[in-house]
Each structure stands twice: as structure tokens, then as C-alpha cells.
Amino acid sequence: METSVPLWMNLLLGLVALCLLVLPLTVRWVESHLEIFLLAVGAAAVTVSGAWSGELVRKTLASPVYVSFIVLVVSVIFNNYSRYIFRVLFAFFRALEPCYSFALLVFCLGVASSLVSVTVAALLLAEVLQVVNLEHETSVQITVFACYAIGLGAVLTPLAEPMGLVINNALSGPPHHADFFFLMRTFWSWILPAVCGLSVAAGYVARHAGTTLQMHIREDKETYSSILRRTWHIYMFVAALTLISTGLRPLAQSTITHLGGKVLFLANAVSVIIDNATLAAIEIVPTISHADLIYMVIGLAACGSMLVQGNLPNIVAAEKLGIKSRPWARVAVPTGLVLMGGYFILLTLFL
């Protein structure tokens, strides 16, 4: 049963949300220590909302374990066997012009993210960009486009990220009777064109890389201390997202729970600071209409990569490639606005 949220709590949580949006882009210390900042703000949000409990502490400590373990294992595999793995990659890049090879890479990662975890897809992306020398700005652009594609592609099955599982579980009964292929049947026609568009964008920004593109096999292996440090940073990121999502839940419940499809689509821009699965758990009810479901999920997927902290693939790729908040936002915010605008027009016309 829902309870009303006091005005003072909403005001304080609104201030927390504003800090999450503004400070990583304006304060250099926050940009350089983002995971520590997110942990502190998440703890503040939970304190304001009065949500501390033993179960939350357990969940905060346990929820990052799976993601961190994947990061650790895949990083060790790439570190020790990259010479063999990238022989195939080099043949691929030599066979195609950069505009085609990067477009195909982003498309494959976007589609594959629905079958493997988004963490693995983001790590593969980062490993590729580390051995294919591109100008930094081009590398950031391709990373952002790829992370959008990964986040969108992940919507198609319950395997890739928690949001899909939350939706399937919530709609497993009547009237939707969601099975494993429910998300794919519902969203493939909306998701695949966007993934193709992002792939074309990646190919376009890489079109002039032919004269400067160099590929190398790293002879110097990454130290295990460096791998462990990156794994620890990602652990802190995911733990922070758990706290933030729990702490801001009352604000989300009191402001967006009862909105209709079109307004919900726009309101879900808050997915840049609140975990998609949390918003899905708040918004999805078994009686949701087909149209409202599409508005809601597309809104979450189209907005999630605007900021580094908005989506798990962003965090993994940005941490691996050393991309800071401001360079990310310079590319990701316009991209997200174009996606949202295009989707809103199409949804309005065809739903």
C-alpha cells in the first residue's frame, strides 16, 4: 500500500538528484572520484528517505559481486590471451574499411548484449578500442554510441540486465502472459532501427580513421593490481547505484508512478541517475497497457546512457578507457536527446 511522501523529504531528495546531475559535470574532484561521490550521495539519499536496514546493507554489499566477478574474469582472460583473441580482430579490421568495421562492431555488440550480459559487451568494446588506436574524441564517440546500442539491445531478453527480468516477472500473469520471448516480440521493431542508426553513426565518425588506424598487440601485460583496482572501482559504482536507487525511490514513487504513457516517456529521463530496474519495478504493474509499456521501456532505454552513472555498460567502458564525466556528457547528452526526440515522434505517430 502506497504512503504519501512528506514534502520535506521530496525537497531534500530533489536536491540530492540535482547534485547527482550537476556536480559530476562541474566539479573536477567529483569527476575524478566519481565512485566515492556516488557512494556518499547514495548514503545521503538513503538517510533522507529513512530506508536504512540490514537487508539494504546486505543487498548493497552483495549486488556488485556478480558484475565485479565478470569484470575480473574477463579482464584476466584478455590480459593473458589477448595475442590470440586479437589476431581474429585484426583480420576483421584489415578486411573492411574503418567506417564499416566500427559500424559492424557496434551493431554486433548491440544485438549480442541481449544474449550476454551488458558487462561483457562493454568490456569487449573497451578491449577493442584499447588495441585499435583512434583519436581520443573519436574513441569517446564510438564508446558512447556503442553503449547506447548495448543498453537498447539489452531490452530484448530478460538475460542481459535486471530491467528485463523485472518486466518479465511483473507481466508473467494475465493479461500479458510474458514468456522468455515477450520482450523480443514487443520491442524488436523499435530497438533494431535505433541500434542500426547508432552503428551508422559510429561508422561515420570513424570514416577518416583509415590513414591513422593502427592496431597493436599489447606486449606489456596489465598488472594484476591494476585489474583489481578497476574491479574495486566498479564494485563501488554498482554498490552506489543500489543506494541511490533505494534512496530516491520515494521521490520516484511520488512523482512518476501515476503518469500516462507520453508523460512517463519524458519523466523516465531520470534513468540517468536512477537504476532502470528500480524505475521498472516502480512503474510496471500487471494491468499496464501495451502502449504505456512501450513508452515506459523505450524512455528508460533511450535516456540511460546520457551520463556515465546512468547505465552499467557506461560505467564499465568509461572506467576501462579512462573517460571522464564531461567528455562523456558532451557526446552522450546530444545523442540521447536525438534518440528521445525521434522515438517520441515515432511513438506518437504509430502507437
Query: Which amino acid is residue 269, in one-letter code?
Result: A
pTM value is 0.86
- For the chain, domain boundaries: 7-214+221-350
Element (H, E) at 162: helix 162-170
DSSP per residue, 121-147: HHHHHHHHHHHEE--HHHHHHHHHHHH
% of the chain with per-residue pLDDT over 70? 94
* Bond from prior residue into 175 cis (ω within 30 degrees of 0): yes
* Helices 182-205, 162-170: crossing angle, 10 deg rounding: 150
Helices (H), 268-324: 276-283, 290-303, 312-321
Element (H, E) at 215: strand 214-215
In tens, the pLDDT along 152-188 reads 999 998 887 878 888 888 898 899 999 989 999 999 9
In tens, the pLDDT along 111-153 reads 999 888 888 899 889 988 887 878 889 999 999 999 999 999 9
Counting DSSP H helices and E strands in the chain, the numbers are 15, 2
Residue 49 has pLDDT above 90, yes or no: yes
Q: Are 149 and 100 in contact (CB under 8 A)?
A: no
